Chains A and B, each alone.
Chain A
Amino acid sequence: MAKSFQVDVVSPEATVWSGEATFVVARTVEGEIGILADHEPTMAALATGAVIIESDGDRTLIGVHGGFLQILDNQVTLLTDRAQISEGGRDVAARIAAELQELEQAEEELEGS
């Protein structure tokens, strides 16, 4: 069994996901990042895309738009602007992320008008 670490995915309105995981994939503004246990301390800005959280065979996919990723002492925190758990595959999660982005743009336009 691979070594696991704590993962929290929070958005301003709620905690989206919280638990132990063995492998996490996220998209930062500079590209994809794969995280295993004992990753070096990292602070990254998140881009729009799918986040994959694996824990002993279980796979959770989350569509994420914007925010931050902090890795510190085997604790991974995703502070997202918007996040939604996807029931489908990776492309579905990516689509959810894109939709969240569109939603935000629409809200901003609405506000500007």
Chain B
Amino acid sequence: MASAELRQIRRRINSVNSTKKITRAMELIAASRIVKAQQRVKQSIPYAEKLTEVIRNVARASGGVAHPLLERREVRTVGMLVISSDRGLAGAYNANVIRMAEAAMIEHANEDRELKLFLVGKKGQTYFRFRGYHVERAFLGVTDAPSYGDARAVANTLLEAFATGEVDTVEAYYTRYVSALNQQATLYRLLPVEPPTTEGEEQAGAVAYTYEPSPGEILDRILPRYVEAAIFGMLLESSASEHASRQRAMKAATDNANELVKILTRIANQARQAEITTEISEIVGGAEALAEARGE
């Protein structure tokens, strides 16, 4: 015999509870994915480090090599790679990296540079399409668990655009995974390749390598790998960041749902109590009225 108000509140409690189940499940899934994504980031590091080391050695050995991928050109057209996610519900993850990229786009536009947009992730695609930007190419279905093949596909597209002079430079925007609690939208200048600088101790003398085949050909093969590995690293870090952001967002949603249920339960109890009080006073009032009628 619940009143309309009470029934409505109870319905809301049920609805909040079922939402909570979903957010809680998403939180747990994201948490388990972070671990995996972190591991993949870690496993990709040896390759990237060795590759950097090899390029540094080759660059030093051949003494300031010239290569199309190392060449700085006057920048008329900027290629931008923005890595977002395919799915939402990840807090400010997508908003942060997209905001950073868009700010840079406005700046480039102010300086009369042309823009070519390359996107990874559906969220970025939707955002920039909606705002009327022309999207050169979008890669979808990559961000959940990026494979090296995905990185290679992105790299090939960008390298081709750079080689044909379609773009004079490529900036990549991604979300760096600093820690589980801290992820940062970051800019990385992808092309032209900035040869890794010699850090720390100055190793005396260049290494006299025997090349098989020539140094030029080795560079031809190795520099594209370097770009691929860089993109792969960014995809993996972005993916880890996405899962971490989603876990936090979903945890917040679950906490909010708990709080809401607590408040709604109190209101429901008040309404129930008020109803009981009304009922009792009605019964008492009725009994008194009867007694009075009999005594008369």
Contacts and interface: CB of A to CB of B under 8 A. Distances in A.
B221 interface: yes
A43 B44 contact: no
Interface residues of A, number: 26
A28 interface: yes
A8 B217 contact: no
Nearest to A111: B153
A111 B222 CA distance: 22
A7 B40 CA distance: 22
Majority secondary structure of chain B interface residues (helix, strand, loop or mixed): helix
Interface stretch (A9-17, A52-60, A84-92, A93-101): A9-17
A30 B43 contact: no
A43 B47 contact: no
B54 A43 contact: yes
A4 interface: no
A12 B148 contact: yes
Interface residues of B, number: 35
Contact of A12 (B208, B211, B221, B229): B229
A77 B50 contact: yes
Interface in B46-61: 46-47, 50-51, 53-54, 57-58, 61
B209 A12 contact: no
A10 B218 CA distance: 18
A28 to B, nearest CB: 5
B212 A43 contact: yes
B228 interface: yes
Nearest to B229: A12
B3 interface: no
Contacts of A12: 44, 47, 148, 151, 228-229, 232
Interface in B236-253: none
Contacts of B217: 45
A29 B54 CA distance: 18
B149 interface: yes
A77 B48 CA distance: 12
Contact of B43 (A15, A43, A44): A15
A11 to B, nearest CB: 7
B135 interface: no
Contacts of B221: 45, 68
B244 to A, nearest CB: 21
B35 to A, nearest CB: 16
Interface of B: 40, 43-44, 46-47, 50-51, 53-54, 57-58, 61, 147-149, 151-153, 156, 207-213, 215, 217-218, 221-222, 225, 228-229, 232
14 contacts: A8-B46, A8-B50, A15-B43, A30-B213, A33-B212, A41-B210, A43-B215, A45-B212, A68-B221, A70-B57, A77-B50, A79-B54, A79-B225, A111-B149
